[in-house]
Amino acid sequence: MTTTQHHHAPITTPEVGGIGHNVRRIEDDRFIQGAGNYLDDIVLPRMLHMVLVRSPLAHATINSIDTSAAEALDGVVAVVTGEMLAGYNLAWMPTLSGDTQAVLATDKVRFQGQEVAAVIATDPYVARDGAELVMVDYEPLDAIVNPMQGLEPDAPIIRDDLEDKADNVAYEWEAGDAGATAEAFATADRVVTIETHYPRSHPSPLETCGVVADVSPVTGQATIYMTSQAPHAHRTVFALVAGLPEHNIRIISPDVGGGFGNKVPVYPGYVVATAASLVLGAPVKWVETRTENLISTGFARDYYMKGELAVTAEGKILGLRVDMVSDQGAFYADAQPTKTRAGLFHIVTGSYDYPAAHVTTKGVYTNKAPGGVAYRCSFRVTEASFLIERLVQNAAYELGMDPAEFRKRNFIQPDQFPYHSPTGFVYDSGDYETALDMAMDMIGYEKLRAEQARARAEGRLMGIGIASFTEVVGAGPSGEYDILGLKMFDSAELRVHPTGKAILKLGVKTQGQGHETTFAQIVAEELGIPATDVKVVHGDTDNTPYGLGTYASRSTPTAGAATSMVSRKLRSKAREIAAHLLEASPEDLEWEVGAFHVRGSPESSVTIQEVAFAAYTNHPPGMEAGLEGVHYYDPPNMTYPFGSYIVVVDLDSGTGEWKVRRMVAVDDCGVRINPMIVDGQIHGGLAEGFAMSNMQWITFDEAGNCIGSNFMDYLVPTAWETPRFELGETVTPSPHHPIGAKGVGESATVGSPAAYVNAVIDALAHIGVRNIDMPVLPDRVWQAIRDHAE
């Protein structure tokens, strides 16, 4: 049983700035003064510059590589090839999903943009000149540019580097119960089907990926500055790949200019630069260009999905069947939990209660860039949420019901939590109808439906689209979730200094989410030390406890919980010290944020700052001095944020263009630590959802040439196109998280694409349109209208 609350008053004062306060971000001071320290800002003495030579072809055998002209160029220090790396056993590396990936190609190139050689020079302009001079002789091969081609029986085997590989299948995985689902379908009145392609996209943070590798030839110490969302995991991967002793590797992830999943994988450039630094004895910098970022690193989505929903004539869902084929590119290189090969895609049953579901998935190698990263999404939850929310809308149409009403008939009810889903998740808490009602109220749903009826009579097209999504985030419980065997707990280390100021060290790493403020607020809440007195340190593996990093909306559910728990550990110790100072027994002390006082005599009290001072100057005999601790938090369950979004669009039947008139987003991410930051996260996600539904995708021609290799072809919306958003909130705390928070960084990217697309389809539903794939481009809309004209 859970309760939905609206804002409750913060328990701390604004000066302390605990949970619920819009503390202005501590990190902003450096950013607004141009004093951020991003990867490319790092300059080390004697630093060299690396540029990668990339394949212009999607699939080809490498006959030879001639580096002599490049080597002869003044300023070029070295040219590295795969053959040279093979000498160090570094030509291939493991990926975060357990595959292998070429660092520099030795035998073949398998996608356009693949890394073939590296030119290292004293100056970045010269390194680029050198890269132009590397001559590679290729023998072109036929390219496979979609997974259906890859599954054809006579398709060439892309991964012939893998022993005995006889097909192009990267993985196969299923969830749910086939038999029970077949039974559900057998008793259904109607089966509603949708087939849709969630197109290839790219997170494209405005800062591209890069590295400055500094390996000391004297001590063997490797200091690797890199754009990393997961510095500790990357350290371990480096130890495994490069065979460097892990204590001699220090990963520093400086200020990161956006990540969104793009900076989770380990990229060949990182490894080559590190190897080059080791051999050359000088720091080596590599920074991608935008084109390199778009053609070679961390694409997202590219799921071909077929969903079938079994329903009764009264509008009850009985079961769901999903078959999904993913285009993985040439290497299965996204970070995936070991036990779930298509991430958390099996959350596809959504916010609805029905007994049976069966999900089959297959990943296919193609001659396209590797990745499949979860772009602002918890391991493929975005694709899942899109599919079910598109399906329920179509089911409502088939049954002649209102899509909101159909959802309400099928929502999991508040008293059903914890809810066991048919694919094996245990939803922690939720109140879906309240969120949908709030969104409908805010947008004026009934009025809009009336307007729509009038508009249709007048021949005007407008549509109303809903998405009532449920996410699964916060990976995760160590029994179920690991990456390459590394359990997905996270950590926090807290030290309170004698003067009552504190330093908090985290295994996660912000890329703009505001950790330096939010996590300080958790300490403020738990200990009463003002948030502005807490320094948050992250992104430096030598100075933070182990953790798996920031992606999949996991920082608040895991490291946020760890921060709470370590603060409480310190509070327990503080109680003992306070008892000593007050000459009372610890049980007789009462805690009110920031101070202990003796029960019944409030004048006899000590502040947390006084206790901190005593911890170093006057601690009880027999007690360890100091006030510090560490906590590794292993979450008992995932968290399940949810929300309801409603979009209204006006559609021009002549051109097929559509405009968002209004977008209302009601989110429930549990307790909100800093509501201002939460809203900001939602704004960003809503914009990215709009981007994917409206304009943003990466395509390839038949030869495997990437169309979408720069910001002129890969369209990222500007302020002019981006809709204006209206936010609402409900608060249903997570029952198992120490402060009831659920995570929010991705909710809006997960939930919103279906809302936008549903709105466009809704504008055309009366003429029989049931699907247009994303991005819903004007020509596609125009064509759909033509196809359905009487």
Partner 1 sequence: MEITISVNGTDNTVDVEPRMLLVDVLRTRLGLTGTHIGCDTTSCGVCTVLLDGTPVKSCTLFAVQADGRAVKTVEGLKQNGDLHPIQAAFKEAHGLQCGYCTPAMMLVGSVLIEENPDPSEDDIRWAISGNLCRCTGYINIVKAIRLAAETVAASS
Q: In angstroms, what CA-CA distances link 94 with 15, 234, 542, 714?
A: 48, 12, 23, 29
Shortest Cβ 371–partner 1 spacing (Å): 17
Pick the closer one to ligand FES by CB: 257 or 337.
Answer: 257
- Candidates 468, 338, 354; CA nearest to 404 is 468
H or E element in which residue 644 lies? strand 642-651
Segment interacting with partner 1 (CB under 8 A) among 25-33, 85-93, 211-219, 427-435: 25-33
Secondary structure letter of residue 758 according to DSSP: H
89-94 long-range Cβ contacts below 8 angstroms, 24+ apart:
89/243, 90/241, 90/242, 90/271, 90/275, 92/161, 93/237, 93/241, 93/266, 93/268, 93/271, 94/237, 94/240, 94/241, 94/484
Instruction: Please enumerate in sequence order all residues whose Cβ is within 8 A of that of 560, keeping only pairs 6 or more positions apart, or say none.
Output: 518, 519, 522, 673, 737, 739, 741
Q: Which of 321, 376, 409, 672 is catalytic?
A: 376
Binding mask 233-262 for ligand FES (x = CB under 6 A): -------------------------x----
- Candidates 326, 272, 282; CA nearest to 54 is 272
Shortest Cβ 419–partner 1 spacing (Å): 31
Residue pair 167/157 in contact (Cβ under 8 Å)? The answer is yes
> In the numeric block, which tokens belong to residue 473?
């985030």
Q: Interface with partner 1 includes 659 (CB under 8 A)? A: no
For 250-262, give one letter per residue: b (16+ CB within 10 A) or e. Answer: bbbbbbbbbbbbb
Interacting residues with ligand FES between 189 and 208 (CB under 6 A)? 206
Query: Which does residue 38 bind out of ligand FES, partner 1, none, counting CB within 5 to 8 angstroms by kind?
Result: partner 1
Pick the closer one to partner 1 by CB: 28 or 446.
Answer: 28
- Residue 78, strand partner residues: 120
Shortest Cβ 686–partner 1 spacing (Å): 6
Q: What angle, rounded to 10 degrees, do the helices at 432-443 and 403-410 form?
A: 160
Shortest Cβ 376–ligand FES spacing (Å): 12
Among 353, 383, 688, 746, binds partner 1 (CB under 8 A): 688
Shortest Cβ 513–ligand FES spacing (Å): 10
Segment interacting with partner 1 (CB under 8 A) among 57-65, 347-355, 566-574, 675-683: 675-683
Identity at 73, one-letter amino acid code: L
DSSP strands (E only) in 90-181: 92-94, 100-102, 108-109, 115-121, 135-140, 169-176
Q: Interface with ligand FES includes 735 (CB under 6 A)? A: no
Among 260, 386, 596, 700, binds partner 1 (CB under 8 A): 260
Instruction: Please enumerate in sequence order all residues whose Cβ is within 8 A of that of 515, keeping only pairs 6 or more positions apart, or say none.
Output: 506, 508, 509, 536, 538, 550, 555
Query: Which does residue 667 bind out of partner 1, ligand FES, none, counting CB within 5 to 8 angstroms by kind?
Result: none
Q: Which of 250, 301, 377, 390 is catalytic?
A: 377
Segment interacting with partner 1 (CB under 8 A) among 54-62, 131-139, 534-542, 681-689: 681-689
Clarify whether 746 is annotated catalytic: yes
Q: How many residues bind ligand FES (CB under 6 A)?
A: 3
Q: Interface with ligand FES includes 36 (CB under 6 A)? A: no
Q: Interface with partner 1 includes 724 (CB under 8 A)? A: yes
Query: Which does residue 9 bind out of ligand FES, partner 1, none, counting CB within 5 to 8 angstroms by kind?
Result: none
Among 27, 398, 437, 540, binds partner 1 (CB under 8 A): 27
Q: In angstroms, what CA-CA distances link 789 with 566, 783, 784, 785?
A: 64, 10, 9, 6
CB count within 10 Å of CB 670 equals 27
Segment interacting with partner 1 (CB under 8 A) among 149-157, 240-248, 497-505, 679-687: 679-687
Which residues of the chain form contacts with partner 1 (CB under 8 A)?
Answer: 24-25, 27-38, 40-41, 43, 124-125, 204-208, 255-258, 260, 289-291, 511-514, 676-677, 679-681, 683-688, 710-712, 716, 718-720, 722, 724-725
Could you list the active site residues?
A: 229, 376-377, 746
Which residues of the chain form contacts with ligand FES (CB under 6 A)?
Answer: 206, 258, 512
